[in-house]
Amino acid sequence: MSSENQGQFGDTIGQPTVTVVASYDDMSRRAADIVAETIASDPACAITVPTGSTPVGMYAELVRRVKAGELDVSRVSIFCLDDYRGTTWEDPASLTKLLKHEFLIPANVPDELVHYMPTMADDAEQATAAYEEAIVAAGGLSLAVIGLGPNGHVAFNEPGSGPETRTRVLDLTQQSRDQNAAYYEAGAKIPEQAMTMGLGTILDAKRIVMIVNGEAKAGIVKQMLTGPMTADLPASWMRLAGDRFEVILDQAAAAELDQTR
């Protein structure tokens, strides 16, 4: 399946891998396998992982493995991918809060190894630069697990974002704010700005794994993999990572791809 994209990725080294699995549960298990492999080969590695609805199954599987004694996350540094500007993780509408409840707390990840987005910093420029430096100081990201927004965003890199972008504050689109309101109880107020790892920050990871499920994203998946690399669809820049980039899709999300080759 990965061969269908030959020649469309410019000067990248190798081609992204597109893995199509039968179900959401299979997608979650495959992503959990990659997280576990990464940690097994370097127990003190640094990784980033997403929030939202897509990774819930992956987190459940990782927590299961930790509780079964199959996975040790006691030395892993976790860098948060994104959150809203001006919210702490205790805020009702905080992405980090979801991450804490679905993964960090039940898996018992030591809090001192969790790098929270410095969303409350007065000097965002200085704080985001320090965040980038902390990633470098941790040895770089061994793995970035990411999702795909319905508008093509990765983390909160909204349309208009280029592959050179670093961790920063940016304005959210109304579409993303509406999308994320669905994670919370009715009436949750979604802020207008976010702080996000940049696309360039994510592209520096040794391995990038994107998980996508559901028919609603089949069209954007196809555009991301087969259309031009463009800031209109920020996720398309992930193809610059060549064979460091793997997309794991359930059948529904892969429905518009040519799977005959």
Q: Cite the active site residues.
A: 82, 151, 153, 158
Question: Cα-Cα-Cα-Cα dihedral of 211, 213, 215, 217, to 10°?
Answer: -30
Give the range of 47-55, 62-70, 135-143, 253-261 binding ligand PGA by CB under 6 A: 47-55
- Pick the binder of ligand PGA from 16, 57, 149, 152 (CB under 6 A): 149
Minimum gap (Å) between residue 154 Cβ and ligand PGA = 7
- Residue (of 212, 202, 206, 224) closest to 253 by Cα position: 212
Give the range of 62-70, 117-125, 143-151, 160-168 binding ligand PGA by CB under 6 A: 143-151
Can residue 38 be called a binding residue for ligand PGA (CB under 6 A)? no
- Whole-number Å distance between alpha carbons of 59 and 49: 10
Choice between 54 and 165, CB closer to ligand PGA: 54
Choice between 46 and 172, CB closer to ligand PGA: 172
Can residue 53 be called a binding residue for ligand PGA (CB under 6 A)? yes
3-class SS of residue 177: helix
Choice between 51 and 142, CB closer to ligand PGA: 51
DSSP for 198-212 reads -HHHHHTSS-EEEEE
Give the range of 37-45, 49-57, 133-141, 246-254 binding ligand PGA by CB under 6 A: 49-57
Placement of tokens 């179900």 in the chain: 23
Can residue 147 be called a binding residue for ligand PGA (CB under 6 A)? yes
Number of helical H runs and strand E runs in the chain: 7, 10
- Pick the binder of ligand PGA from 15, 16, 27, 52 (CB under 6 A): 52
Placement of tokens 């460091």 in the chain: 244
Size of the site for ligand PGA (CB under 6 A): 8
Q: What are the DSSP E strand ranges found in 98-157?
A: 114-115, 141-146
Choice between 66 and 172, CB closer to ligand PGA: 172
Element (H, E) at 84: strand 82-84
Return the number of other C-beta atoms located less than 10 Å from residue 114's C-beta.
17
Positions that interact with ligand PGA (CB under 6 A):
50, 52-54, 147-149, 153
